[in-house]
Amino acid sequence: RSFDFAASKEDITILVKVLQNIDAVSEEVARSMRRAAFFLVAAPLIVGERRGGYPLESDVVYYRYGIPAVNTQTLYDCFVEDMPPCAYSTSGGIFVSIDSEAMQNARERKNLSLGDIASALGISRKSVRKYEQGASTTIEIALKLEEILETSLIRQIDFLKTVDSVPSVERMLSSLEKRVLGMIARIGFEIFTTAFAPFNAVSMPKDEDVAIIGENAASMPKMQEADRILTGISRCTSKLIKRAKMVSSISEVTGTKSVFVVNGKIKRVQIDRTALIRRDELERMRDADEFSHIIEERVTDAR
**Does the residue 158 lie in any domain?**
no
Residues of the chain whose pLDDT is less than 70?
169-170, 208-226, 301-303
In terms of domains, do 81 and 120 share one?
A: no
**Does the residue 165 lie in any domain?**
no
In terms of domains, do 250 and 216 share one?
A: yes
Q: How many domains does the chain have?
A: 3
Half-sphere exposure (CA, 13 Å, Cβ side) for 270?
17
Q: What is the pLDDT of residue 219?
A: 43
In terms of domains, do 102 and 208 share one?
A: no
Sign of the CA dihedral 17, 32, 208, 290?
negative
Q: What is the pLDDT of residue 170?
A: 61
Q: What is the pLDDT of residue 303?
A: 59
In terms of domains, do 18 and 123 share one?
A: no
To which H or E segment does residue 231 belong? strand 229-235
> 3-class DSSP state for residue 42?
coil
pTM for the whole structure: 0.85
- What's the domain range around 142? 96-149
Q: What are phi and psi of 86, to 5 degrees?
A: -120, -15
**Does the residue 156 lie in any domain?**
no
In terms of domains, do 207 and 278 share one?
A: yes
In terms of domains, do 101 and 129 share one?
A: yes
Q: What is the pLDDT of residue 225?
A: 62
In terms of domains, do 42 and 117 share one?
A: no
What DSSP string describes 61-117? EEEETTEEEE-HHHHHHHHTS-----EEEETTEEEEEB-HHHHHHHHHHTT--HHHH
In terms of domains, do 19 and 47 share one?
A: yes
**Does the residue 162 lie in any domain?**
no
In terms of domains, do 11 and 68 share one?
A: yes
Q: How far apart are CA 251 and CA 274, in angstroms?
A: 8
**Does the residue 212 lie in any domain?**
yes
Could you tell me what percentage of the chain is helix, strand and coil, using 3-state DSSP and rounding each to the nearest 5? 40, 25, 35
**Does the residue 155 lie in any domain?**
no
Q: What is the pLDDT of residue 302?
A: 58
With a pLDDT cut of 70, the percent of the chain lying above it is 92
Q: How far apart are CA 172 and CA 124, in angstroms?
A: 55
Q: What is the pLDDT of residue 221?
A: 46
**Does the residue 168 lie in any domain?**
no
Q: What is the pLDDT of residue 192?
A: 92
